[in-house]
Structure 1
């Protein structure tokens, strides 16, 4: 099966969107990851939910996981306060990573390999139209797993 056939509409956010509103969208829609696009609707980043939590955690706990045992809820910064005034681009941990994307003709096995290799629960499907590339949808790990379960 081709990526275009597996892809579903998926909410995306812009790099310029408000971080607090984006966090609320993430929670309300129970998304596995954020799909962030640039001003031209090209994928900018795919950020798993686990990585979105990093902003609320103290640096020392991230640098030395053994210290996480001593953390109390009071040590975790208020997420709305931490995100207030930030854009999505300022919030997300991009680290120069290229987002997980495939073209519309990519096969299911190729997509599964990309997800496993990049540790992402979401792959964006992009389509090139001359000079312009646009995001046409996304494939979640759950959607792909469903496909593989029903193929036997």
Structure 2
């Protein structure tokens, strides 16, 4: 089985897309992450949903989880409001990792290795510079478990 057999259309965002829109897209479509594209429509990064949370969750709560418990429920429920006015660019790590991108001929094992190495729940599939879509961790596992 190859990437071309698992690829699905996948939503994209730009670096300047609002972070709140990205969070809504993740939630509304139940996505593990998003493909971030440059002005030419080529993948420039993968934005896992956890990176959006990293921007929204106060640093002091990330550094000391016990502090998250002392925040009252009303404020705790509204933490995503901190994404207002922020962009996808701000959600991405300062030091970019290897881009999880492959061609349509990649095998399931190659895709799995790329996901594991890059800690990415999805891999962008590109053919001749054109984004075909993505292979998600869920699709990969479902297919591999059937084999």
TM range (shorter): 0.7 to 0.9
Distance 2:58 2:87 in 1: 20
User: In the alignment, which residue of structure 2 is the partner of 1:24?
Assistant: 24
**Aligned 8 A contact 2:42 2:131 in 1:** yes
Deviation (angstroms), 1:111: 0.5
Partner of 2:36: 36
Report the CA distance between 1:139 and its aligned residue.
0.3
Question: Which consecutive unaligned segments of at least 5 residues does structure 2 have?
Answer: none
Is contact 2:19-2:52 (8 Å) kept?
no
Asked if the contact 1:56–1:76 (Cα under 8 Å) also holds between the matched residues in 2, the reply is no
- What displacement does 1:142 show? 0.9
Shift of 1:47: 2.1
Q: 1:40–1:134: 8 Å Cα contact kept in structure 2? A: no
TM-score in terms of structure 2 length: 0.84
Q: Would you say 1:78 and 2:79 are equivalent positions?
A: yes
Question: How far has the Cα of 1:85 moved from its partner?
Answer: 2.2
Question: Do structure 1's residue 148 and structure 2's residue 141 form an aligned pair?
Answer: no
| Deviation by residue 1:31-71 (Cα, 9 ceiling, x = unmatched) | 11121111111112212222211122221232345654545
Q: What root-mean-square deviation, in Å, do the aligned CA atoms of Structure 1 and Structure 2 show?
A: 2.1
Q: Which runs of 5+ in 1 are unaligned?
A: none
Cα 1:75–1:25, aligned 2, differ >3 Å: closer, same or farther? closer
C-alpha distance in structure 2 between counterparts of 1:97 and 1:14, whole Å: 18
